[in-house]
């Protein structure tokens, strides 16, 4: 294992350690470091700066940094070693790079993610206006299901996750919107299954689900929409960080 970045590392590596911008600090940190590792800007065996120094460089809390580092350890990008010579190191064989000239997500993935933003935020607006107590109680139960399934099979968690988002559309009492949400969740599953599913990512995502339900109960449309946009953006960061290659373009 090597020490922290060598001298004369250049502006590209310097940019990796620039402050991360809120509100998606966790997901953006995962994307920032994961992408740098895949592109070889942070080479195999390199030791990352100590937690305190790295959190200061990125302008994020140490707890958020630990969540991001744990996610990247679980995804195979980093390894954590204990002892006097321990620390957090870039894995010797991290997930393959897409190549420095390639976009982080393919055209098909970008189209799916854009469509998701429209459907999810639109559903959030109508749910804040129309959701009945029984709708919101069902959404709350699904967040409980996801809490119980963390650490279990991802397929079990994902089923509850899909039902939550479809339940959001059902809370709008619009059949056409339910159809659109079902379609986008199917397309999202195709993308999500291309990456690993660290527990830190799942727990962070479900915490947003629970906050969303609370905001819908208060009929706080603006904050609910803002949170849903952050939720979608967080998924985009995670996909960009952990997807080893762009999805194939549709014919």
Do 125 and 233 reside in the same domain of the chain?
A: yes
Domain presence at residue 98:
no
Do 46 and 166 reside in the same domain of the chain?
A: no
Last residue of a domain, one of 58, 90, 122: 90
Q: What are phi and psi of 76, to 5 degrees?
A: 90, 5
pLDDT at res. 249: 44
The DSSP annotation for 61-109 comes to -HHHHHHHHHHHHHTTSEEEE-STT-EEEE-SSPSPP--TTS-SS-HHH
Do 130 and 211 reside in the same domain of the chain?
A: yes
Do 39 and 126 reside in the same domain of the chain?
A: no
**Kind and range of the H or E run holding 108:** helix 107-130
Which conformational region is residue 43 in: left (phi greater than 0), alpha (psi within -120 to 50 degrees), or beta?
beta
Do 209 and 149 reside in the same domain of the chain?
A: yes
The domain that holds 65 is classified in CATH as: 1.10.10.10
Last residue of a domain, one of 35, 63, 90: 90
Do 122 and 151 reside in the same domain of the chain?
A: yes
pTM above 0.75, yes or no: no
Which residue reads 């119980």 in tokens? 148
Domain count, the chain: 2
Range of the domain at 132: 107-242
Do 223 and 128 reside in the same domain of the chain?
A: yes
* Segment-wise mean pLDDT, segments of 10 residues, the chain, 251 residues: 54 74 80 80 88 90 89 87 84 65 66 96 98 97 88 81 94 94 89 81 93 98 97 90 56 41
């Amino acid at each position: 294992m090597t020490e922290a970045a060598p001298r004369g590392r250049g502006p590209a590596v310097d940019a990796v350690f620039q402050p991360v911008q809120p509100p998606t600090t966790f997901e953006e940190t995962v994307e920032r470091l994961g992408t740098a590792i895949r592109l070889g800007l942070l080479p195999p065996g390199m030791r990352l700066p100590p937690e305190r120094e790295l959190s200061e460089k990125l302008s994020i809390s140490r707890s958020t940094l630990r969540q991001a580092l744990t996610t990247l350890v679980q995804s195979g990008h980093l390894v954590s070693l204990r002892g006097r010579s321990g620390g957090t190191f870039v894995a010797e064989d991290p997930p393959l790079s897409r190549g420095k000239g390639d976009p982080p997500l393919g055209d098909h993935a970008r189209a799916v993610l854009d469509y998701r933003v429209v459907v999810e935020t639109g559903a959030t607006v109508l749910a804040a206006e129309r959701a009945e107590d029984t709708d919101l109680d069902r959404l709350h139960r699904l967040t409980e299901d996801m809490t119980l399934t963390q650490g279990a099979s991802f397929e079990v968690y994902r089923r509850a996750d899909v039902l939550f988002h479809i339940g959001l559309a059902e809370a709008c009492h619009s059949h056409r919107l339910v159809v659109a949400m079902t379609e986008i969740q199917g397309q999202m599953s195709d993308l999500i299954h291309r990456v690993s599913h660290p527990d830190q990512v799942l727990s962070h995502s479900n915490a947003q689900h629970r906050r969303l339900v609370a905001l819908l109960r208060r009929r706080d449309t603006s904050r609910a929409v803002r949170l849903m946009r952050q939720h979608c953006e967080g998924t985009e960061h995670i996909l960009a960080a952990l997807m080893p290659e762009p999805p194939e373009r549709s014919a």
